[in-house]
Structure 1
Amino acid sequence: MKLNKILYFAGLCVLATGCNDLDTEPLGNIITSTQKSDVIKGDPAMIESSVSAIPSTGNLFGKILGTNQHMDFGYPAILAGLDSRTAEMVSDVTGYNWFSEQVEFSDYKPTSRLTRMIWGTMYNQILAANSVIATIDSETKDPLSMYYLAQGLAYRANSYFVLAQSYQFTYKGNETLPCVPLITDKNQNEVASNGAPRATVQEVYDQIDSDINEAIRLLEESGRISATARADKKFFNASNAHGLRARINLVKQNWAEAVKDAQYVIDNSKATPYSIAEVSKPSFWDAADHSWLLAVIVEESDRVVTIGICNWPSMMCSFSSNGYVAVGAWRRGSKKMV
């Protein structure tokens, strides 16, 4: 398992001129997890950068496979790879199509690029989520802390949901089969030392359910966060958290519960599908559009942009003049969808 660990670098006090007197700085420069929690209790906004780091793990170039693998551009690449395995999105097997292995179903092995992308990206996101969850008091009543804790829980739920569907048969009828290792804020230190066995499908979905249910409770009870309010669409609000739970309930065949969650989204999100007129011109690219509930936010300064051709437009957009689609890696919708 390739998990990138977050390291906190502390300054070393060596016998040299200018070293801080330990009597005046008794804790040195090392910040412990307990001290970090104490700081956040005093000012919950101090954890904002850690919360923002959770979704950013899905928008990094070269993080899992390395910079010579142009399909390594984060969570969007995972979605493109998974869609390429279906009959709904058709493309050619060519040297310019980085998802050719998925088109020809030749990637079902532990060392395949997409397998490593899914595993590494999702567990990196779980690592970032665990860091936030471990830092915030689970009993907090501070609205901002509740909102931040909900982000960690919701993203962890989504990550395990992706992993569970990728590495085992779907839920119903397969509850006792081995799925993926469960690494949470409670056992991550133990796992780092001794590893972790594969949990069953049921155990993984129990964790998913616990996380998303608690995230929804925190978002709905925090008081300052409505069903639509948030900093931007890379964060969860009550509406898209219900949307995620609707998808989970569909996989578990909890039909009535899925309908209730979906209805909540329809009634509260203010989101609506694109109209035919809207999609008659280039669309599906702006997170601010009314059709999107949750988005990967890409800034012009991000490496996935500055690299040029190692990104979503290069692989997916017919109107991109500088990328792999322009030289033959065309994407087409199946006629069966018409």
Structure 2
Amino acid sequence: MKTNKFLYIAILAISLVAFGCKKSYLDTTPNDSVTDENLYDNAAGCRSVLDGMARLMSTTGAALSTKGSTAQHDDFGHMSIVLQEDVMSADVVCAANDYDWFGNLYKFQTHRNALYRDAIVAWALYYKLINSANLLLANIDKATGDANELNEIRGEAYAWRAWCYSKLAIYYCKTYSLGLNSPGVPIYTTPTTSTTKGNPRGTVGDVYDRITVDIDSAIALIEGSGITVTNKSYISLATAYGIHAEVSLVMNKWADAEKYSDLAIQTVGGASKLMDSATYRNSGFRDATNSEWMWASQLSASQTDDYGIICFMSFVDASNPSSYAGGGGTFRKIPKYLFDKIKTGDVRKTTFDNARKQRKFYMVDYGTWIYDNLYMRLAEMYLIKAEAQAQQSNIADATTTLETLVKKRNSGYSFATTPYTGGTNLLEEIYLQRRIELFLEGKAFSDMVRLKKPLSRPLGTGNFDLTTCGVAELPANSDEFLFKIPQSEMDNNASLNGSDQNP
């Protein structure tokens, strides 16, 4: 009963930080929080803050603070940003009809409008989570309880902060390899209130310095605690390694990317934890008990009752007649040119129907909307490790790593004899396997940006239609890939002026 009380208080506290005064609902300096005076008194209360953060990740109105009749149906926590990533790529064909709340992003329009919610959602959500992590780190020293448990909680808070800054850097900054002196995002390491003066943007180098310090601290604390968390809503040691691997990949720190992806793989349990074909096809993408899943939101009935059709599955599962994808026709297809690259015999080819609509993510109980949201899984770690090894010219090792994964999807796979690219460039093979394996998992846009590739959407039957996608070609490193900083931030942060806005 006490744990439930702490969770309720933590969710209320985060909600008040997140959903306070309407004027500044998206500021990096949110309103003063109202918290129970006992929240940080002990380890249980501190852990409940992590529970509240995990819940915010899958909450209707998490970013824009709208509920009920005012709810914006493209604001349902982190998974709304995952879907943003995929529709802004060359890997997903959308209907982009009047029911598709992500249609304007598909056309590369509204993320470039500082007043529009598509520019706001990521900024608002991740800064709210950052402030929650900062509140926890600022107050946990007064908590009583087992020292190891408190250190594990500290470690998770640092990992949350690192991860959130890494996400902000993707959308609001030029990628790391284009220059460390380009504009970053404001950095906060202490709690902010409505009276806190906003910080300047700083540089991309500053942001990644902060991320690196935080994720290193997280790993040291979680490792040293000796505690293994089993609820996948928490950031486990394996997930912290995974965050470090993802960040190292963006920074082109190949040795670190290999090291931390391998640590994640070994901590999870290695290749035996990868899904078999039957699981991949039938239940691999809705249940956090899956051995391959590393980080997820394990949703309760109360959460699914709260959002109903305002959720990720609603916008991708065309088999559900009550969903946006099913009832509203906002389908997500794989374009023909990409589908045709998947070899016959690959289980991933069976996760699309005859019209190439995705069937990777789907529910079985349409009445309750109960399913789990996936944030990180083991397959990505194999792909990171393979890419990092190839970048270090460890071709034999990279090939072995890649084949370990792909043979789980297609037992006849061999890079030497049956490459999906049809060529001999191992890195290009790895990039293609990422696009196939991580389809609709929120990697397509960020991969395009970090790899400095152009947007190239083939037109024609089965591929993209210019009348609905709006944009077929954009050059590598285009300013069109940058999200505008929300206008409310520009107006209310005294450390910013007009020249600080993204071009």
Same fold (TM over 0.5): yes
Look up the match of 2:82.
79
3-state SS of 1:233 partner = coil
**C-alpha distance 9-153 of structure 1, shift in aligned 2 (>3 A):** closer
Contact 2:61 2:75 in 1 (8 A): yes
Q: Which residue of 2 aligns with 1:188?
A: 192
The answer to whether the aligner puts 1:237 opposite 2:236 as a matched pair is yes
The amino acid of 1:93's aligned partner reads A
Counterparts of 1:203-214 in structure 2 under 5 Å?
203-214=206-217
Normalising by the residue count of structure 2, what TM-score does the alignment of the two structures yield?
A: 0.57
Paired position in structure 2 for 1:281: 282
Match of 1:16 in 2: none
**Conserved 8 A contact 2:318-2:329:** no
Question: Counterpart of 1:294 in 2: which secondary structure?
Answer: strand
Amino acid aligned to 2:264 = V
The residue number in structure 1 matching 2:57 is 58
Work out whether residues 57 and 124 of structure 1, in 8 Å CA contact, stay in contact via their aligned partners in 2. Answer: no
Q: CA deviation at 1:102?
A: 1.4
Q: 1:213 to 1:71 in 2, by over 3 A?
A: same
Superposition CA RMSD, Å: 2.3
Residue 197 to residue 247, structure 1, CA distance change in 2 (3 Å): same
Q: Structure 2: which amino acid aligns with 1:94? A: N
The alignment status of 1:2 with 2:24, answered yes or no, reads no
Question: Which letter maps to 1:59?
Answer: S
Give the stretch that moved more between structures: 207-216 or 315-324.
315-324
Contact 2:318 2:331 in 1 (8 A): yes
The percentage of aligned residue pairs carrying the same residue is 28
Is residue 245–residue 258 contact of structure 1 (8 Å, CA) maintained in 2?
A: yes
Q: Which amino acid aligns with 2:177?
A: K
Does the Cα contact within 8 Å between 1:55 and 1:125 map onto a contact in 2? Answer: no
Q: How does 1:109-124 map to 2 (within 5 A)?
A: 109-124=113-128
State the SS of the aligned residue for 1:114: helix
Contact 2:184 2:207 in 1 (8 A): yes
2:147 aligned with 1:127? no
Distance in 2 between the 1:193 and 1:241 partners?
Answer: 30
Q: Match for residue 48 of structure 1?
A: 47
1:197 aligns with 2:223: no
- In the other structure, the counterpart of 2:350 is none
Residue of structure 2 in register with 1:24 after alignment: none
How far apart are the structure 2 equivalents of 1:9 and 1:296?
24
Shift of 1:69: 1.3
Q: CA deviation at 1:259?
A: 0.5
- Report if the CA contact (8 A) 2:163-2:243 is conserved: yes
Q: Which secondary structure state, in structure 1, belongs to the residue aligned with residue 333 of structure 2?
A: strand
CA 1:334/1:6 → structure 2, altered by over 3 Å: closer, same or farther?
Answer: farther
**1:160 corresponds to which residue?**
165
Q: Corresponding residue for 2:324?
A: 324
CA distance in 2, matches of 1:295, 1:257: 24
1:100 deviates by: 0.3
The answer for the alignment partner of 1:313 in structure 2 is 313
Give the deviation of 1:238 after TM superposition: 1.2
CA 1:231 to 1:182, structure 2 compared with 1: closer, same or farther past 3 Å?
Answer: same
* CA deviations over 1:204-262 (Å, ceiling 9, x no partner): 11110011000000111112x1xxx3141011111111011000000000011101111
Q: Classify the secondary structure of the residue corresponding to 1:137.
A: helix
Which residue does 1:91 correspond to in 2? 94
- Structure 1 residue 282 displacement after superposition: 4.5
Residue aligned with 2:301, SS: coil
Q: State the Cα deviation string for residues 16-65 of structure 1 (Å, max 9, x = none).
A: xxxxxxxxxxxxxxx4xxx876x33xxx2232212212222212112333
Residues in 2 aligned to 1:276 and 1:9: alpha-carbon distance in whole angstroms: 47
Query: Which ranges in structure 2 are unaligned for 5 or more consecutive residues?
Result: 1-25, 343-503
Query: TM-score, normalization: structure 1?
Result: 0.83
CA distance in 2, matches of 1:89, 1:270: 32
SS of 1:285 mapped into structure 2: coil
Q: Which runs of 4+ in 1 moved over 3 A?
A: 3-6, 304-307
Residues 9 and 202 (structure 1), Cα distance of their counterparts in 2 relative to 1, 3 Å cut: closer
Helix, strand or coil: the match of 1:325? coil
Amino acid across the alignment from 1:88: D
Match for residue 380 of structure 2? Answer: none
Give how far 1:162 is off: 0.2
| Letter of the 1:123 counterpart | Y
Residue 150 of structure 1, aligned match among 150, 155, 161? 155
Q: Letter of the aligned partner of 1:320 in structure 2?
A: N
- Distance in 1 (alpha carbons) for counterparts of 2:282 and 2:230: 28
What SS does structure 2 have at the residue aligned with 1:193? Answer: coil
**Does the Cα contact within 8 Å between 1:126 and 1:159 map onto a contact in 2?**
yes
What is the CA distance between 1:276 and its match in structure 2? 2.5
Greater mean deviation of Cα atoms: 65-74 or 270-279: 270-279
- 2:298 alignment partner AA: I
User: Structure 1, residues 274-324: CA drift from partner, whole Å, max 9, x if none?
Assistant: 33222332430001111211012211101x544421111211113322110
The amino acid of 1:321's aligned partner reads P
Q: Name the CA shift for 1:282/1:268 in 2 (closer, same or farther; >3 Å).
A: closer
Match of 1:28 in 2: none
Contact preservation (8 Å) 1:122, 1:160: yes
SS at structure 1 position matched to 2:218: helix
Could you give the per-residue CA deviations for residues 81-114 of structure 1, whole angstroms, max 9, x where no partner exists? 1111011122121011111011111122222322
Aligned letter for 1:285?
Answer: R
Give the aligned residue type for 2:141.
D
Alignment correspondent of 2:451: none
Output the amino acid matched with 1:57.
L
Q: Residues 184-205 of structure 1, C-alpha deviation per residue, up to 9 Å, x if partnerless? A: 12x736x843221112101111
Give the counterpart letter for 1:328 in structure 2. G
- Paired residue type of 2:206: E
